[in-house]
Amino acid sequence: MTINMDGKVALVTGGNRGIGLETARQLGNLGATVVIGSRDLEKGKVAANTLRSEGIQAENIKLDVNLAEDHQAAYNFFEQRYGKLDILINNAGIQIEIEDLAPINETSTVSPAIMRETFDANFFSMIELTQLLLPLIRKAPAGRIVNVSSALGSNTLHSDPAAPSYDVKLLAYNASKAAMNTFTTHLAHELKDTPIKVNSAHPGWVKTPLGGKYADMDLEDGGKTSVILATLPSDGPTGKFFHMDTELPW
């Protein structure tokens, strides 16, 4: 079945590169108008221009997820230009504990500063932005919220010695993604009697600056899970955690 997203408007935070840009590209290729939110306005312009050169309807806004004024500016943009927001992809995030993902456990020494900076970007700011934009998502016929998480946020997998991620114990990053997953289940429950669906996505271990040099997935595949969840039909799942079509344990 061909998915047609004509008339849909999507915001992808951290959309100027990596998984975010690829997600925007794939949504745009389905017909959606994609808006790239990026901390650096110029980098966002370059990304949007690249997508437009590919025939995609793309715009960009300055959106540092840590800045409340950027949150409000984003709300004003969508309210005034479109009167709604169909899709929110909470893609922006940081991992500042190590350069490349690898077996590690420095739980006893990770600094409070790293914990706070990671949670501010990956959790608190994501919640604040989603709460602010939710009235616009409610105005869409079938809103979709996709929280880009990670298998590293699964406590079930972290307690399983057979899991591939078992030895990657990045406390700040992993805990922030576990907290994001909790937000997913709770917001999905609150909105269960509405057309809005809220899910967490594990894009995979993707070859990006965040994924690092050991990653085993290409960007094209890295964007697929978010796109699947952003285009769910009315009878699709909500409050779940997926990689591609596979449901993951919390």
Q: For residue range 62-97, what is the model confidence (pLDDT) as tens digits? A: 999 999 999 999 999 999 999 999 999 999 999 999
**Active site (annotated) includes residue 82:** no
Q: Under DSSP, is residue 47 helix (H, G, I), strand (E, B) or coil?
A: helix
Is residue 64 within 8 Å of residue 41, measured between CB atoms? Answer: no
Q: Which of 75, 82, 166, 173 is catalytic?
A: 173
Strands (E), 63-196: 87-90, 104-105, 144-148, 168-169
CB crowding 152-166: b at 16 or more within 10 Å, else e: bbbeebbeeeeeebe
Bridge partners of 62, per DSSP, are: 38
The secondary structure element, H or E, covering residue 219 is helix 219-222
Helix (H) or strand (E) holding 247: strand 246-247
What does the pLDDT read at residue 100? 82
CATH number listed for the domain at residues 9-247: 3.40.50.720
Counting every residue, how long is the chain? 250
Instruction: Report d(CA 16, CA 8) in Å as an integer.
Output: 20
pTM of the entire predicted model: 0.95
Q: Each residue of 20-65: pLDDT tens digit?
A: 999 999 999 999 999 999 999 999 999 999 999 999 999 999 999 9
Residue 1 confidence class, pLDDT cut points 50, 70, 90: low
End-to-end CA distance of the chain: 30
> Cα separations (Å) of 21 from 17, 50, 60, 81, 160?
5, 10, 11, 22, 33
